[in-house]
Amino acid sequence: MAFTSVLFIRPDDIPGVDVEPAYFKDLNLDQVVQAMTRGRSEYNLAPFFYTSLHDVDAILYRQEVFRDLGETEVFAQIHTFGQKLRVMRERLTQAEKRYYPYQKAAWFRDAVEVYCGAIDDLASGLTDRPLASSGLCSFREYLLQYRRSDGFTELLADTELLRRELGSVHYRLHLKGQRIEVYPSADDQDYSAVIEKTFHKFKQGAVKQYRSTFRKDPDMNHVEASILDLVAKWYPEIFSHLQTYYTHRHDYLDPTIGRFDREIQFYLAVHEYVEGFKARGRSFCYPEPSDSKKNIFAKDGFDLALAETLKMEPSAIVCNDFHLAGAERILVVSGPNQGGKTTFARMFGQLHYWANLGCPTPAHAARLMVWDRLLTHFERQEDLGALRGKLQDDLERIHDILLVASSRSIIIMNEIFTSTTLQDAIFLSREILQRIQTLDSLAVCVTFIEELATLSEKTVSMVSTMAQDDPTQRTYKVVRRPQDGRAYAISIAEKYRVTYDWIQERIL
């Protein structure tokens, strides 16, 4: 099969939309993706992050490429290639911006030279590398073929010849009054050196520099351009070669190479970001994509966005585990406020997000379901201008979610129905969970309503915990355990300093 894309095995997977999925903000993925793609705006990588894969083959195709890039040399080769094409584009931009034809042509030739070098170096660099991914293997095959092609070898030779020719051009100027005389030969005698030598003894210990900084902008003024025209008259063959080259070589860039250059940046962006975390002691894994079975698990999963939003040291982030077995489908998370419940719910969603994207996933090990839809409901700021109340808004959003959810969907609900009475909240939550059970979706439900945890054999109770020795100290650990009611009450009592110890201490 001919190589087309390093990101997709099926042409119909190619992203068309540029719109952030609805769950992005709820899971704080927008911040992570922004951080990952920093400095790579020219590649427009966001659509790749917005387009999830939906089958196991496509996911594995990417995981393989990521594994290959884990080899330092392979990564370095491809990274360098990307940098060179950046330089190439900068030079093309220069060519576009210039006004005088000889200038445009020179910048254009420089760009092509960088391109040829990039191709040549990458081909040599990858030739004997052990590559395992079908994506990179078939790209290499394509690249080597391209390098051998007549078109490329001829392009390379012509570009080189022109470089040598232009390099040989030299001339001498005599400035006198308003006249500029141009001679076709150079004089090697450096009068500046003579002056520096004569005055050398007076330069000792000189600290101040009087060298001027001349305009660095690449444009020529009309005087420079006129001089160049006169120089061109002294070297007519070289400059006519330059003109021909510029007119005839506009489509030098191979489209498949161009596409690879953009797509591989997706891998590099993710890889670099993940490596930063790994260097500071965090594990990532390639989750086993599970197509049908729902006995998923993750070990030491963490919220990647937390480090980004809180500017936290990755090593300070708390990891959590989860697993579902048998009929279990819904994780009901309760426990003390600020105990890491929301973070846990986000982590659950993020892990599934990265897994479906074929990316390294922030967990030590995992098996995760390949999903069709990731649906989130996080509490929103109340819109005072809206006519409908918050409860109605909540219910309408959940209704929309349940309308599209399937047995292969993931639903994450964070603190729903906080704006109604406890009795109402219990009733509504039960109803919603029943519906989710019927759909057979996977779900995380963060709630203060303890009894939801024991709704059926499909629900699993998870609890945010306090330190054993100090009940006011949060651990941010969320563990699989029945709600005991007491820890929660105690910590509230602690908060209001009405525990036994406190009362003893405070009443003197």
Partner 1 sequence: MRVFLLYPDQDFQSDGELYPNEPTITPDLDLSTLWQAMARGDDFLREMSQRIILTRVTEIATIGYRQDVLQDSLDNESLVREIYSMAVSAIEREKKSYFGFFSRYPSAILGRSLEVMTIFVEILERLRALAETYKPQFKSSGFSRFFAMVIEELGTDYLIEIRRHLRELKFQKGLFMSVRLGPGNKGSHYILNPRPTTQRRRWIQRIAIKEPDYLTYVVADRDEAGARALTELWDRGIDVVANALAQSVDHILGFFIQLRMELGFYVAGMNLYETLRRLEAPVCFPTPLEFGAPYLGFEELYDPCLLLRRGESVSGNTLTCHDKTLTIITGANQGGKSTFLRSIGLAQLMMQAGLFVGAKSWRTPVASGVFTHYKREEDGSMQSGKLDEELQRMSEVVDQIRPHAMILFNESFTATNEREGSEISRQILRALGEKHITVFFVTHLYELARTLYDEHSDHVLFLRAQRAPDGSRTFRLIEAPPLNTSYGEDVYREIFEV
Q: In the complex, which residues of this chain contact partner 1 (CB under 8 A)?
A: 94, 98, 102-103, 105-107, 110, 166-167, 169-184, 186-192, 194-196, 198-199, 201-206, 208-212, 214-215, 218, 220-224, 226-228, 230-231, 233-234
Q: Which helix (H) or strand (E) holds 246?
A: helix 236-248
Strand 365-369 to strand 297-301: parallel, antiparallel, or no bridges (unpaired)? Answer: antiparallel
> Of the two residues 221 and 438, which places its CB atom closer to partner 1 in the complex?
221
Please list, in sequence order, all residues whose beta carbon lies within 8 angstroms of the beta carbon of residue 62, skipping any fewer than 6 positions away: 7, 53, 135, 267, 357, 358, 359
> Of the two residues 154 and 219, which places its CB atom closer to partner 1 in the complex?
219
Give least dist CB 346 to partner 1, A.
50
CB 120 within 8 A of CB 143: no
> Of the two residues 210 and 496, which places its CB atom closer to partner 1 in the complex?
210
Cα 438 to Cα 332: distance, rounded to the nearest angstrom: 16
Q: Which helix (H) or strand (E) holds 204?
A: none
> Of the two residues 56 and 194, which places its CB atom closer to partner 1 in the complex?
194
> Of the two residues 245 and 417, which places its CB atom closer to partner 1 in the complex?
245
> Of the two residues 74 and 166, which places its CB atom closer to partner 1 in the complex?
166
> What is the number of residues in the chain?
508
Question: 365 has which bridge partners?
Answer: 299
Give least dist CB 235 to partner 1, A.
10
Alpha carbons within 13 angstroms on the beta-carbon side of residue 382 total 10
Cα 398 to Cα 413: distance, rounded to the nearest angstrom: 9
Alpha carbons within 13 angstroms on the beta-carbon side of residue 456 total 15
> Of the two residues 203 and 506, which places its CB atom closer to partner 1 in the complex?
203
**Which of 380, 366, 353, 377 lies closest to 433, judged by CA?**
377
Give least dist CB 101 to partner 1, A.
10
Give least dist CB 205 to partner 1, A.
7
Cα 96 to Cα 314: distance, rounded to the nearest angstrom: 44
Give least dist CB 98 to partner 1, A.
7
Cα 458 to Cα 349: distance, rounded to the nearest angstrom: 19
Residue type, 457: E
Scan for tokens 């992203």, then name that residue: 15
Give least dist CB 185 to partner 1, A.
8
CB 386 within 8 A of CB 419: no
Give least dist CB 90 to partner 1, A.
11
Backbone angles phi, psi at 409, to 5 degrees: -100, 160
Assign 324 to helix, strand or coil.
Answer: coil
The separation between the first and the last C-alpha atoms of the chain, rounded to the nearest angstrom, is: 84
Give least dist CB 261 to partner 1, A.
23
Give least dist CB 83 to partner 1, A.
18
> Of the two residues 31 and 226, which places its CB atom closer to partner 1 in the complex?
226
> Of the two residues 59 and 105, which places its CB atom closer to partner 1 in the complex?
105
